[in-house]
Chains A and B, each alone.
Chain A
Amino acid sequence: MREATTRRALWQERIMLLLLTVCALVSVATTLAIVVALTVEAIGFFRVVPIWRFLTEREWTPLFATKKFGILPLVCGTMLTAGIAMFLAVPLALLIATYLAEYASKRRRQRLKPLVELLAGIPSVLYGYFALLFVTPLLQKFLPSLPTFNALSPGIVLGFMVLPTIASLSEDAIYAVPRSIREASLALGATKLQTTVHAVLPAASSGIIAACLLGFARAIGETMLVTIAAGLMPNLTLNPLEPVETMTAYIVQVALGDIPRGTLEYRTIFTVGLALFVIVLVFNLMGLFLRERFLRTLRRM
C-alpha cells in the first residue's frame, strides 16, 4: 500500500518535471520562432531585392509605383527619434538616479521611485496623443515653422518614456556600490559630492552604461508614439524638425493597410522587422553583458 503511494508520487514527480521543463522550453522556442518567422519572409524578399540594394539605397518607397527598397531612411528615422530621446533621458535619469541612491533619505527614496516608474506604466498610445496634441503645438509656439509631424516632439516624449528604465537600472547600479568605496574616499577628505562623482559613479559606470544601452534598445523598439506623432514619411535626414518614419512605424502602417499577403510589399514588414530585431538584439546583449560583468566585479569587491 505504502509502496504504491510512493510509486505514484515518483511518477507524478517525473511527469511534473517534464511539464515544467516544457514550460521553460517555451521561452527558448519563442526566440527560435521569432528568428524563423522573420527569416523565412526576409529570404523571400531578398530573392527579389538584393541585400546590398536593401542596405545601401537611399530611398524607401515600397508602396509607390516606382519601388525603392533602401532601408536607410527608416533606420535614420529610428536613430533620430531614439537619439533625441537619449539626449534628454540620459542626463535626467542619471541626475535622478544619483540623487535617489546617494542623497535621498530612505523614506523619500521609497516615495519618489514609484513616481518615476509611473512613467513606464503609461500606455504608448497616450504618449503619442500627448506628443501630437500637446507637445507639438507647444513647440510650434517657439518654432512656428515646425510641421505637425516631426521627429523632435515624439523624440522628447520618448525620452521621458525610457527615462524610468535608465534611472531605475542606474540607481540599482549606484546603490550596489559597496560602502567601503565611499568610506575610503570620505576618509581621504573628499566631500560627499566629490565622493559621488569621483569614486561612486566610476565604480558604477559599467552598470550605468548597461542601463543606457537597455534604454536605447527600448527607444528603438517603441512603436505607437512615433507612429502617431512622427509622421509616416521615410526621410533620410538628421534634421529633428522634419517628419520621419521609423522602422516600427512602417510595420504598423503596412499592417493597417490592405496589402495582400504574400506579396513583396507584404514581405517588407518582416524584413524590416528582422533588421529591427538584429539591431535591438545587439544593444540588448551588450547591455546584458555589461551588467553581468558589473555584478561580477561587485561580488569580487
Chain B
Amino acid sequence: MTTTIAAKRRREKLLEGLFLATAWLALALVIALLVAILADVVADGWARLSWKFLTGFPSRRPEEAGILPAWVGTLYVMALTAFIALPIGVGAAVYLEEFAPRNWFARLVELNINNLAGVPAIIYGLLGLQVFVRWCRMGESVLAGACTLALMSLPVIIVASREALRAVPNSIREAALALGATKWQTVRDHVLPLALPGILTGTILALSRAIGEAAPLITIGALTFVAFVPKSPFDPFTVLPIQAYNWVSRPQPEFHQNAAAALLVLLALLSLMNGIATYLRNRYQQQWQI
C-alpha cells in the first residue's frame, strides 16, 4: 500500500517536472526567437549604418541610398498623429469615465472601442484611402496618413487613458466637488493632472505601435520612393517601415542590407519611445494611500 502511494507520488513529481521543463522550453524558444531576430538584423544592417545613410536620399544604387526622407516622414507623421489623437482620445476617455451615465449608450461606445481595437491595421488604411484621401481630398499627404494612424491608435489611447483616470482615487473628486467646483473644473484641475503620466505612457505606446506599421500607410498611397523631405502637411511622404519593405522586396542582397539598417533605425526609435514611456510610468507612478 505505502509503496503504491510512494510510486504515485513519484509519478506526480515526474509529471510536474515534465510540465515545468516544457514551459521553460517554451519560454526559452521565445527568448531565442527575440535574440535571433535582433542578431539577424544587426548582423545584416550594422555595417550600413553611417552618417551618409542617415542623411542621404533613396537611390537606385544600394550603396548610395539613404533614409533621410523616411525618418523625417516618420517623425512628421508621428507628431501630427499625436496632435490629432491625444485630445480626442483623452476627451473620449474623460467622457466615458467621468461623465457618461451607465446606460446603453456608454455600453455601446465601450463595446465599439473594444471591437475597433481588434480591427486590422490594413482596414484603417482602406478607411483612410476612402475618407481622407478621396472624400476629404487630402491626397496622399502627411495629413491623410496622420489622420489614418490617429483613428487606428485611438482605441488604445482611450483604454489606457481610462485606466489612468480610474486610478485616481475618488476622494480627490469628492474633495473638489465638496468645495463647489463643477464636474469639469474637478476633472480639469485635479483629476486630469494626476492621470496625465498614465495617459502619456499609454499614448506613447500606442504611437510606437502605429508608427511601426507600414500597411495602412501603403494602402492610403504613401510613396515608396521619395527623393525629397516633406515640408508641409500636404506633401507626399514615406516612412521607415515602408522604405524597409521596399528594400526587402527587391532581389539584390545589397538592398536587403539597407532594409536591415533602416529597420535598426526604426527599432532605435521605438526603443527610445518605450524607454520614455517606462520612465514616465516609474517616475510618476503614485501609490495612493487612501
Q: Which residues of A line the B interface, CB within 8 A?
A: 9-10, 12-13, 16-17, 19-28, 30-31, 33-34, 37-38, 40-41, 91-92, 95-96, 98-99, 103, 112, 115-116, 118-119, 121-130, 132-134, 160, 163, 191-194, 214, 217-218, 220-224, 227-228, 248, 251-252, 255-256, 261, 269-270, 273, 276-277, 280-281, 284-285, 287-288
Contact = CB atoms under 8 A, between A and B. Distances in A.
Contacts of A34: 119, 123-124, 126-127
Contacts of A98: 23
Contacts of B131: 33, 37
A9 B185 contact: yes
Contacts of A163: 30
Contacts of B220: 255
B79 interface: no
Contacts of A191: 12, 16
Contacts of B121: 221, 223
B218 A27 contact: no
B95 to A, nearest CB: 4
B118 A27 contact: no
B155 to A, nearest CB: 7
B263 to A, nearest CB: 5
Nearest to A277: B123
Interface stretch (B170-178, B230-238, B242-250): B242-250
Interface of B: 12, 15-16, 19-20, 22-24, 26-27, 29-31, 33-34, 36-37, 40-41, 44, 87-92, 94-96, 99-100, 108-109, 111-116, 118-127, 129-131, 134, 151, 154-155, 158, 182-185, 208-209, 212-215, 218-221, 224, 241, 244-245, 248-249, 256, 259-260, 263, 266-267, 270, 274
Contacts, number: 250
B215 A96 contact: no
Given A19-B91, A34-B119, A125-B214, A99 B151 contact: no
A223 B118 CA distance: 14
Nearest to A193: B16
Given A95-B22, A252-B122, A280-B118, A130 B37 contact: yes
Instruction: Give the interface SS of chain A, mostly helix, strand, loop or mixed.
Output: helix
A285 B219 contact: no
